[in-house]
Every structure is written in structure tokens, then in C-alpha cells.
A and B are shown apart, each in its own frame.
Chain A
């Protein structure tokens, strides 16, 4: 790990002189009020966090949690597409989850991954006395109070009034800002780089000032309307702006780069050694505060926690017979084909995308090397609501399993904690438990949490969302030529892992019953062993796919659909074994003669049948595919 939490993003060393920077961030409240711009600027914001670290962004992923049949979902997808497609960063995966608990307060989490030569790592913190330069868009009244008015309050009926607090994105300027920032860093022209995100300059400058100090002349900030008050300039959340600390002799060179890309660039102040952040307006000091008060020495408060009692094991739902249940699950909102979402995003720009979105994790080749990155983003609020500690661990394990199924050794995670109002003791307990669960899972896997973001107060009219820890995982693939994606005729189909499953929180339960009961507890050692088994043996697999939403039955059906080849399998009769979720299980396939080469290292491995034919145990593949794709027709933009 080169950079842990505390900077704009975490950075991990991946060897051969390269490093990867990544982070996930929420833009929930703006998206709830204005889904198109809210989601678009969510993408813009996370991109800036990545190039502020000195990295070139190479991938986006997004976590979208919405109510069922919510028209706002379409708008959010359009917003993400509009921004991401226009800046040329491929969108290679993510999570989409529908549940009525998100109806009044959707979640839009955006993750960005960037690569950089390790010596190019840049900090937001000034490293010495110098000039402060601001470049990018002009400053206006948009987004004033975005972080405080929107993000830190519950939503209610009068939210239409909050629309002016939503920022408006300009992806064309965003694209130029990426190129300028990367060029400034590659040419070694800036000491530190910082994006203006939530709370605008106020937040950017206080992080930059850190142990030094800053004198800022707010009257020099280029404005898009000229009647702004100094305080408004300080907290405006106008998009596409960066600040940099620059050695004074290099300021002209910085201005030249900006001019070439047709971006305004202005010297707005100086880094001092006073330890104080001072704001000037036409020469007069109009505000000063010791810089540390805004960062390290900010006041902290203790939350009061109130635990919910443990739930009983769930009853088995009264559900239709196996075949009908499988078809209904395949067509359900949380399982059906996602092509209608990801086809709205450019997932190929950059010429790195080896595995496109759809199966477990996206895989990008680190050209010209044959190494690659496997990227996933996951989180299941239903399970976290039933037991937040298990939900926290589940998000980490699911994200890591998806990376491992795609041939990647999980290196590190980033996380976004989407919760309700933490001033309510029960919500505070959910938060605390989920963090504990994530920590335990990371410890078992031996991987660090390198960055993250919290989104609290996700409540509308007093109704909180499901507590939703969302985890992004980055894994290293040794050779992208070796990752599979389809089982072949005659391959042996194997089930890897110990089956500790529960109906609680599953799609099966949500479809045929109410969400209730205690989810299955994890055996973290066994989970870690399974994940190791999956990535270490990946070159031998023709496909590897973990058991997630919809359980084993859906996992096998998806394998058959992705492969275009059926299978004859020995399946259990118990609905919990067929449709239960949460425990670490994965389906893998390989040629018969390769089974003996698999290094199980204690992971239980059971042959359940073989691939071949055009049906899954007699269910025609065409019927399974039709159900899975049923509602996947393209929908309209506006």
C-alpha cells in the first residue's frame, strides 16, 4: 500500500513500477433530488479524486440502488453515461439493486480506478511554500451548500426547493481537466494537486494547507457571475475545478499547459508557513483559522449505539416448484440481464477491456503488459439490514470473490458506507456493526481498506434505506489471456466451498416472502481459502462464477446462459441449498483431465455434473435466456 485513507484516493503498488489508485464515493442526495445531474457530477467528482493522486483514470464502476420501476433510475443511468462517455473513461461494471426501501432515497455510488507510475504519486497536501493556482471551470452559485444542505440532512417533501443545491456537470471541461492534470503531473510542474469537491474551496484549501498555511485572495477567483459574496466563493461546489500548489518559477509553465487545453488558470494565493488559512477580499483579511482546526483537530463526537436483537432463523417460503421459481428469479429485477444498463456506457474506450461488464468482475489489460486488473463493486443492503455485521463482511467477500472468479488476486478494497441518520442510536449501531464486519473480513483476507466515503442521513420522511455498505475491490490478474468466461462441451462442473446458506435476505425470500430472519454466519477462514482457491487456479477454469443473488440455481443458469451451452447436473432438492445465499460457494468448470491439477488447499470440491447440450437438466437454454433477457429491451432516454 502506497497511500491509505486520508488523501483523495488510496493507492496500491502492483509491481513493475506501476501503482493503482482507486476510490468509491456516493452522490446519493443530489441524485435523489435531481438524478441526471446528481449521477453525472458523482462521476465527475470521483474522477477528480483519482487524477488528483497523479493517476490517469482507466475505469469507472457504479453502484445503483433504486426503488422498483423508478423512472429516476433511467435518468441516473443517462447522467452517468453522459459524463463517463464524454470523458473517455470506460464503465466496466458495478452493482444494480432494486428494492422499495430505496424508493425515496436512491443510492448512486461511483468508483474510479486509475493507474500511475509509482514515482508519480501526488498528494493533496502542500509540501512547501509556493503559489496556489486554480484551474478549470469558473465559480458560480451552483451547488452552494451541496454537502451541508443536501448530504447531511434527511430528505422530505419540500425537496424541490433544494434543486439549486445540486451541481451541474460539464463533461467536456471535465475531459480537458483530466488531460491538464495528468500532463501537469507527468511534466513535474505541480507540488500538490487537490480537487474542489464537497464544500468547494473551503474543503480543498484546508486539506491543502495542512501543516503549512495558506493566504487566499478570493477576489482573484474567476467567476461565472460577478455578484458572488466571498463566503459563496469559498463554499461553491461548481464542478470541474482543481487547485494546485506550484513552485513560483513554474507558474508560467502551468499556465501554458492550461492555455493549450483552453482552460482558465489563475494564481489565487500562496502557501505560507504561518499554519493559518487566511482569506483576503481586495487586500483585507476577511477570515482566518488555524488550518489544523479544519482537518486533524476538527471536533469529534461519540455516537450512542442501540443494538437490534438477533433474529431467528427464517421460515422456508411457500414458493412454486423449482423450475418455475428459477425462471421467475431469472426474470426478477435484481438478477435479469443488465445489458440494458451497461450498453448505455462506453466500456471499450482505452483499448484495455478484456472482460466486459456482465460476469462477476470487469477485467482490464495493463497494456503493453499482459497483466490485468479485475474490478468489482458490490453490496447487499437486505442482508446488512438483517445483520449489519454479516452485511459488512458479505460486501467485502462478495467483491473479493468476484475479483477472484475473474482471475484476480484481491489486493485491496475501497468502501462507501450508505446509512441512515447516525444520530439515531439504531442507525449508529448499524454503522458500527457493518464497519466491524468489513474489518473482520478484510483481516481474514489479509487485504487493506485504502479509501472510502460515508453517506449518512439517507432517510426520506423518517424512513431509512437499508444500511448499505458498498465495497469496491481491485485484483491483479497475472495474465489476461488465461481468464475464462464460458464452459465448454464436456467440461466437468464443480462446486467449490462449504455450503453455509440461508434464505434470509435472499432474492428467493424477497420474491416469495417478506425479508426476515438471521442470515448465515460466515466462516471467515473458509471464505478466505475459497477466494485463494479461485484466483490461484483460475488459469485452469473455463468459467468460475460465485453463488450470489438467486443462489446456486441462478448461478448455474447464468453459467449456462453466458456459455451458450447447457449442463447435466446433480442438484439438491432443498430450496435452501438451491436458492439460499450469503455463504461462500462458487461454481467452476474445467476439462476432466485438469481436475487433478487443481490445488484445493483444503477447499471442499465436489463434482456436480458436466457441461453440454442445449438444456440445463432438461430446461431449454433458449427458455432460460429468454426469461433472463425478458425485460431487457432498450428504454428511452428521457
Chain B
């Protein structure tokens, strides 16, 4: 294997929509993306990071992510995360991570009660994570959202704990498009190796398509994955 092009697995659940976009965007930041079918039971050998992409897995018919978390591959993803493996959940992927208990909190219906697709401005709260190392503290990123259930919330105790333990990595700056608590757009687990975010960095890697700010998130992940790969060698 080449440590310079780390392998990142992108999981395709039934109903995933942004899996190919995520793979394309990762390739643009010099990663070797590997689409992995939900029914697999093992992540490919040499997987340096996992991305759970956006979409409507199982149509979101029960609740976003509620069925996908039971997909056979998720056991392997959970194990991977428990060993400190890097996992990024985007939009529906974030919902799946919350449903699977890999991230705290829940994502409820947008305060507007409507699906919304638009550019948002994010503020980077932490740069010491594997997902934001290429960003600057307080940097503003323009990254689009597209979701109906992106309103992150939790009990008062949980929200206080997230603040205290510094788990909030990205916040909406200015306009909060879904009414999320504490303007949360992205959080990490306590260990800092699993992140969920509602905005779509894979849809912001090319200025022709609107913005290239999302590439900072994916390139940060690529850097961290490269280090992981090097450590494995």
C-alpha cells in the first residue's frame, strides 16, 4: 500500500445518496476512496478512516439512521471506532452515528418543519481534531446543508457536558438553518476520533460548484488517515 494515498471507506447503505459524491470529493484531496456495501461484515483491509455519507438510508421511513445502524457493516464500524479509528458521519451519516450511540445527542426535525437546502456559514471551534487540523481557530467556512432533520439537541446535562468537554467542533455562524441547540453543526465523541456534521463538506470541494471550504475538512481527515496508514506500516 502507498501511505501517501490512504484508503478511506465510504459506506453505501440502501438509500445513501451522497456516497459517490463523497468518494469523488475524497479522491480530490488525494485519498483512495473505497465504496463498501452495507451488507459486508468487514471493512476492507488497510482502511484508515470511514465516512458514512448523506442520503435517505431506508427512506428515513422510521427515523433518520434508525434502520441503517443495524446494517451488518456497522458492527465493524463500531469496532473500528472503539479502537480509535477515524469515522466521519455527514448528514444522514451523522444521524446513523447518533442512532448507533457512537455520538451523543439526537437530530430532530428542523425548527422550520421543512427540508432546507442552502449554503451555511460555519465557525470552526476547534482545530485540534483530525477533522479540522487544516482550519484556523474561529475560521468561517461556507458549506451547504440539505436536510429536514438536522436540529441537534439533547438534555440540558448533555449539552452542558458537550460544552465542558469541548466536543462542539463546528457551529452555525449567523443564520442557524435548523434551530440546533447551541448552534451546533458538528460534534465529536469524547475521544475525538468520531465526528458527525450536518453540512456537506463533500459538496464544497470545488469553487465551480459554489465553495471549496469543505476540502479543508476532508483534507484534514486525509492527513490524519495518512498518519494512521503510516503507523500501520
What is the interface of chain A, defined by CB distance below 8 A to chain B? 78, 81-82, 85-88, 170-173, 175-176, 261-262, 339, 342-354, 356, 365, 367, 480-481, 634-638
Contacts and interface: CB of A to CB of B under 8 A. Distances in A.
A85 B56 contact: yes
B203 A351 contact: yes
B93 interface: no
B232 interface: no
10 contacts: A85-B146, A175-B15, A176-B15, A262-B14, A349-B18, A350-B21, A353-B210, A634-B112, A636-B113, A637-B113
A343 B116 contact: yes
Contacts of B209: 348, 351-354, 365
Interface stretch (B57-65, B151-159, B186-194): B57-65
Interface in B7-23: 14-15, 17-18, 21
Interface string B40-74: 00000000000000011011110000000000000
A339 B112 CA distance: 15
B1 interface: no
Nearest to A261: B14
B14 A348 contact: no
Contacts of B208: 354, 365, 480-481
Given A85-B56, A172-B58, A351-B203, A634 B210 contact: no
Nearest to A342: B117
Contacts of B56: 85-86, 88, 171-172, 175
B210 A171 contact: no
Contacts of A481: 208
A176 B56 CA distance: 11
A634 B114 CA distance: 8
Given A344-B115, A344-B116, A88 B14 contact: no
Nearest to A82: B115
A356 B208 CA distance: 11
Contact of B117 (A262, A343, A635): A343
A351 B112 CA distance: 26
Interface in B114-154: 114-118, 144, 146, 148
B213 to A, nearest CB: 14
Contacts of B80: none
Nearest to A346: B146
B59 A172 contact: yes
Contact of A86 (B59, B117, B202, B210): B59
Given A351-B24, A351-B209, A481-B208, A638 B113 contact: yes
Contacts of A634: 112, 114, 116
Q: 6 smallest A-B Cβ distances: which pairs? A: A172-B59, A88-B17, A86-B56, A637-B113, A351-B21, A346-B146
A276 to B, nearest CB: 39
A634 B110 CA distance: 12
B17 A637 contact: no
Nearest to B112: A634
A372 B183 CA distance: 37
Contacts of B200: 348
B219 interface: no
Contacts of A86: 15, 17, 56, 59-60
A157 B2 CA distance: 70
A170 B112 CA distance: 24
B90 interface: no
A636 B112 CA distance: 6
B25 interface: yes
Interface string B87-118: 00000000000000000000000001111111
Contacts of B203: 348-349, 351
Given A85-B115, A261-B14, A349 B21 contact: yes
A44 to B, nearest CB: 13
Mostly helix, strand, loop or mixed at chain B's interface?
mixed
B25 A351 contact: yes
Contacts of A172: 14-15, 56, 58-59, 61
Contacts of A78: 114
The residue among A82, A351, A354, A356 with the most chain B CB atoms within 10 A of its own CB is A351
Nearest to B109: A637
B121 to A, nearest CB: 16
Nearest to A350: B21
A406 to B, nearest CB: 14
Nearest to B205: A351
Given A88-B55, A172-B58, A481-B208, A349 B17 contact: yes
B18 A636 contact: no
Contacts of A261: 14
Contacts of B206: 351
A636 B144 CA distance: 21
A308 B55 CA distance: 52
B144 A348 contact: yes
B97 to A, nearest CB: 20
Interface string B195-217: 00000101100101110000000
Given A88-B55, A348-B146, A349-B17, 10 more contacts: A85-B146, A170-B59, A175-B14, A175-B15, A175-B17, A175-B56, A339-B118, A346-B117, A348-B203, A635-B114
Contacts of B18: 88, 349
A225 to B, nearest CB: 20
The residue among B18, B24, B60, B208 with the most chain A CB atoms within 10 A of its own CB is B208
A82 B59 CA distance: 10
Interface string B170-183: 00000000000000
B128 to A, nearest CB: 30
A82 B112 CA distance: 15
A480 B206 CA distance: 13
Contacts of A350: 21
Contacts of B116: 343-344, 634
A636 B55 CA distance: 22
A347 B61 contact: no
B12 to A, nearest CB: 10
A171 B59 contact: yes
Nearest to A365: B208
Contact of B210 (A173, A339, A348, A367): A348
Given A85-B146, A86-B60, A349-B21, A344 B114 contact: yes
Contacts of A354: 208-209
B58 A636 contact: no
Contacts of B15: 86, 172, 175-176
A437 B114 CA distance: 40
Nearest to B203: A348
Given A350-B21, A351-B203, A176 B14 contact: yes
Nearest to B58: A172
A85 B150 CA distance: 15
A169 to B, nearest CB: 11
A86 B115 CA distance: 11
A477 to B, nearest CB: 12
A48 to B, nearest CB: 17
B182 to A, nearest CB: 22
Contact of A636 (B17, B21, B114): B114
The residue among A343, A347, A348, A637 with the most chain B CB atoms within 10 A of its own CB is A348
Contacts of A636: 112-114
